[in-house]
Amino acid sequence: MVEKLIRYILLAAVISISMVLFAQDKPQEKKSSIGKTIKKTIETIDKQTLYKEKKETEQDKAEKKQIQTYQQADFDKLKDATHEDISTIIVLLGEIPLESKNSIFAPAILYNKNNIFNSNTDFAFTWVGFKATAKFTQKKFIWDNVSLQETLIGSFLYASGTNFGFFGERFNEDLLFYTNYTSEIVTLKISLPLYNILGLTIDSRQYFFIKRDTPPDFIMPKNHYNLFPRIDWNIEHYTEQGIDQLFNGIAFQNWIGYGIRSQWDTWGEPGKLQMGKEAKTFVIYSSTLTCGKVFGNSQNLIVRMRIKGGIDNDFLSQPRFGGTIDNAKLDVVHGTTVDQFRVESFALCNLQYGFNVATRLRMNLYADYAYIINPASQHIAGSGYGFRILGPGGLPIWLTHGISKNLSQDDNVSQVVMIMTAAGF
């Protein structure tokens, strides 16, 4: 009862703060996709910076308002930073825990093409480790304020894997089986007055599980079909510019989805059995408030609060958080590893302050706090500092050092180093 009360209080606080902030003056600019990007011509790469400001029409700005799909965590914002002349980005992302040698890396390729076949349809392709995503966006669908998006996903992950397809030793330690799925996602997005955006999504997913190192008495989960209808409601009135994602304004983003599995039963290792019939249907919800302010054209303060949870979720569908990653819009606690925590519900607060140290050097400071609501109350604190460096030819390199501590346990302080770079053509 107390845990439910805390959850409702946190949700009410997020909604109340958002209403107060939206009552204030409007930001001076409308939301636009982030600018500054990779130069196209290699011959002039030593004379010009890698990124430049992207100019867009008002229609393009409206079309860039994306509705994120269920359990999809790609480099969407980094991808949106590309110039219209640049179609491909190559990203290398790595997390290195300082307490062990179990580092992980996620190479990624992102490809974008606007107005394919001389139509009003955009195409985007993302490959991250073991996961490939192809997205088609029909920008004009019956009415000008409505767009239709279809996404195809093929994912070949470990049971203890993440939304990203990482390569490394960390996810080879407790791999009882492989979790493979294909997914077809259809999203209808409607732009409404007063910066409201409504999204209606159907995610149909086919799961195929393959044994690996399972004990003799291990019960495999059943291959099944998963239907996940979802509703998004966002209020977005902000600008986000450049590879540093300078955020100015406010965004209030909410979604809830209901999962239906075609067949499901108890599975797992004796003594650690996962939910059976109870998890044949499940609910996942999320509510996020993001506020940001740009000072002096380069200083940026961002505060984000999120509540995420669900009902009747097992290991495969539980909300998760953790990571020391920038520019990926994940549920991050600096000093932890990606998806380190799988829980029933949690609340998360992230604070970021960034400023330019020199022409090619930017520094970011981070403070994070996560409260695990269910299944057991825990408090996790994180902090970090990072640098974005523009190397030769303007090649961006991100370096971040994070430190975290589980305040509810006697665990030692954890430290993680993140490195990421991106190049495009």
Lowest model confidence (mean pLDDT) among 61-70, 313-322, 345-354, 377-386: 61-70
Question: Higher-confidence residue: 83 or 251?
Answer: 251
User: What integer pLDDT is reported at residue 11 of this predicted model?
Assistant: 52
Once rounded to an integer, what is the mean pLDDT over residues 28-41? 36
The secondary element (H helix, E strand) that includes residue 19 is: helix 2-22
pLDDT in tens, 134-159: 998 887 766 778 888 899 998 887 66
pLDDT band at 128 (very low <50, low <70, confident <90, very high): confident
Q: What is the pTM of this model?
A: 0.78
Is a pLDDT exceeding 70 seen at residue 371?
yes
d(CA 67, CA 201): 9
- Complete DSSP assignment for 136-187: EEES-BSBTTEEEEEEEEEEEEETT--SS--EESGGGSS--EEEEEEEEEEE
Question: Bridge-partner residues for 86, per DSSP?
Answer: none
Is a pLDDT exceeding 60 seen at residue 207?
yes
d(CA 329, CA 333): 12
Once rounded to an integer, what is the mean pLDDT over residues 58-70? 53
Which distant-in-sequence residues (6+ apart) come within 8 Å of 358 by Cβ?
Answer: none
Question: Higher-confidence residue: 270 or 158?
Answer: 270
CATH topology (fold) of 2-424:
Porin (2.40.160)
d(CA 110, CA 331): 21
Q: Which two tokens stand for residue 183?
A: 């997914």
d(CA 7, CA 84): 43
